[in-house]
Structure 1
Amino acid sequence: MPEALSTADRSHPGQAIYTRTTLALYDLVVLGISNTLVWRCPTREILRLYDHCVTDEHLDIGVGTGWYLDRCRFPSSRPRLGLLDLNPHSLRAASQRVARYRPEQYQADVLRPIAIPARPFGSIAMTYLLHCLPGAMAEKAVAFDHILPLLRPEGVVFGATLLSRGVRRTRAAERLMAFYNRKGVFSNQADDAESLREALQRRFSEIDVRIFGCGALFVARKPQ
């Protein structure tokens, strides 16, 4: 089972918000309402990204409730699935949801070097993780450096993040994003598609970034 969070880790509001109570509401509030009506980044588009990129040896980072893993189409009926998150409540919720796959569970902070007893994966997803990490994109992109040892050379990294700049935001999106940034739940006031592309291009030879509302869906292959 995951170890308890350290005092320092508990100070990260971006992950600390996920308690048993908030996770019970996550699918309805985030995937059902916010994605469609506020962020204009439909949940079905993110699920389509999973269906396109997920392999039969997959690591999910920032696991939420495991909704996408529960519904995506793995290439095999018995994939090797890993779950990595800083928050033990999220790890527990997601692992219970996809218990049929007997997932490997790892508690770690992507902003620090990751040392876990796992062989590399063919795909790694980082969905709605980057906008919760503190700092500007160039700073939090260190997360990509820390996960690369967990990726096979021919593997793929994909995911989604919410942007503040250079995208069309509804009034509701502006207000909700500002509120989350004040609370420290989000840290994406300076995030835009160009800084995301630059962070990916520094680490991968092939990248693709597509915008849906104020969400950016990204795919990166061929680590440099």
Structure 2
Amino acid sequence: MEQFPEAHKPGYAIYSRKSLAVYDALVLGFSNSFLWRCPSRHLVDLYDRHLSADHLDIGVGTGYFLDKAVFPEAKPRITLLDPNAECLEAAAERISRYQPHKVRADALIPWPETLGTFQSVGLNYVFHCLPGTMSDKMVLLDHLQPHLAPGGTVFGSTILQGDVPRSWAARKLMGIYNAKGVFSNENDTLEALEGALQERFEEVEIDIVGCVALFSARLPRSA
């Protein structure tokens, strides 16, 4: 069995077969629309705009967005990367028509050298579940860059605090999630996210919908 750092587990260990069975309705349906004020259609649109036929998805959830989005080719090459075996199985089963490759790995520690390179990398609802400051979390992007093909795009979304608009209910639920370790976004601000992305990529776009940042980045500065 794979062994990952204990400090990283609260953000993904909560997802079991039972919780994944209601994830789409509770998180992608209710929470996205009424708490985070970013209906899931905005996230599907993000995938539609940036998906390539050679895609790596990190933090795969139930595979909802890969299932709903439109790929530029009928037979894309898809790799799923997640430390949670239940998420990997659920997502892989949902998009089995694409015959995805599954990799069980923790994105905050060095990635498998054999992973390969990709024209698009998705990071949907990943950063707010990772422990530490925004600077701590961005080691993920440092691990990612060698696996981004020339001209490739990194895109995703994350739930912010700081100056983004949040209702009382959103603030309350974020407080509960942060106390449990499911979220770790108390210091995740738009300024911190933008700075971290611009430090690593020449082209960065961020849109705010509700309290969710939808971002894309291209052209690594290290290249």
Amino acid at match of 2:36: W
2:140 aligned residue (140, 143, 149): 143
Q: Separation in 1 of the partners of 2:156 and 2:89?
A: 21
Measure how far apart 1:8 and its partner are.
Answer: 3.3
Partner-residue secondary structure (3-state), 2:24: helix
**Alignment partners' CA distance in 1, 2:57 and 2:47:** 11
Shift in Å at residue 139 of structure 1? 1.0
Deviations 1:159-203 (A, max 9, x none): 000001111101110010000000000000010111001110111
Aligned in 2, Cα 1:126/1:7: closer, same or farther, shift over 3 Å?
closer
Percent identity over paired residues: 48
* Aligned partners of 2:130 and 2:137 also within 8 Å: yes
1:199 paired residue among 191, 196, 200: 196
3-state SS of paired residue (1:202): helix
Q: For structure 1, which segment, 115-124 or 171-180, has the greater mean C-alpha deviation from structure 2 after superposition?
A: 115-124
Identify unmatched segments of 5+ residues in structure 1: none
Q: Give the structure 1 partner of residue 61 of structure 2.
A: 64
Which secondary structure does the structure 2 equivalent of 1:159 belong to?
strand
Instruction: Please give the secondary structure, in 1, of the residue aligned with 2:185.
Output: coil
| CA positional deviation for 1:16 | 0.4
Match of 1:217 in 2: 214
Equivalent residue, structure 1, for 2:15? 18
What is the distance in 2 between the residues matched to 1:143 and 1:64? 18
Q: 1:5 & 1:175 partners in 2: Cα distance?
A: 34
Q: 2:149 aligns with which of 148, 152, 161?
A: 152
1:38 aligns with 2:40: no
Match for 1:98 among 69, 76, 95?
95
2:45 aligned to 45, 48, 68, which one? 48
- Change in CA separation of 1:171 and 1:211 when aligned onto 2, cut-off 3 Å: same
Aligned CA distance change for structure 1 residues 137 and 10 (closer, same or farther; 3 Å): closer
Q: d(CA) in 2 for partners of 1:152 and 1:110?
A: 18
The one-letter amino acid paired with 2:30 is I
The alignment partner of 1:28 has SS state of: helix
Q: For residues 67 and 7 of structure 1, what CA distance do their matches in structure 2 show?
A: 25
For residues 108-162 of structure 1, the C-alpha deviation after alignment (integer angstroms, 9 at most, x for no partner) is 1111110142321100000000000000101111111111111102100000000
| Residues 84/9 of structure 1: CA separation in 2 closer, same or farther (3 Å cut) | farther
1:118 corresponds, among 115, 128, 151, to: 115
State how far apart, in whole Å, the 1-side matches of 2:4 and 2:143 are: 22
Q: Deviations over 1:82-127 (max 9, x none)?
A: 1000110000000000011010111111111101423211000000
Contact 1:125/1:157, CA 8 A, preserved across alignment: yes
CA distance in 2, matches of 1:70, 1:54: 12
Alpha-carbon spacing, 1:34–1:20, altered in 2? closer, same or farther (3 Å):
same
Any idea what SS the aligned residue of 2:155 has? strand
Q: CA RMSD in A?
A: 1.1
Does the Cα contact within 8 Å between 1:20 and 1:89 map onto a contact in 2? yes
- 8 Å Cα contact 1:106-1:116 kept in structure 2: no
> So what's the TM-score if we normalise by structure 1?
0.96
Give the structure-2-normalised TM-score: 0.96
CA contact (8 A) 2:52 2:72 kept: yes
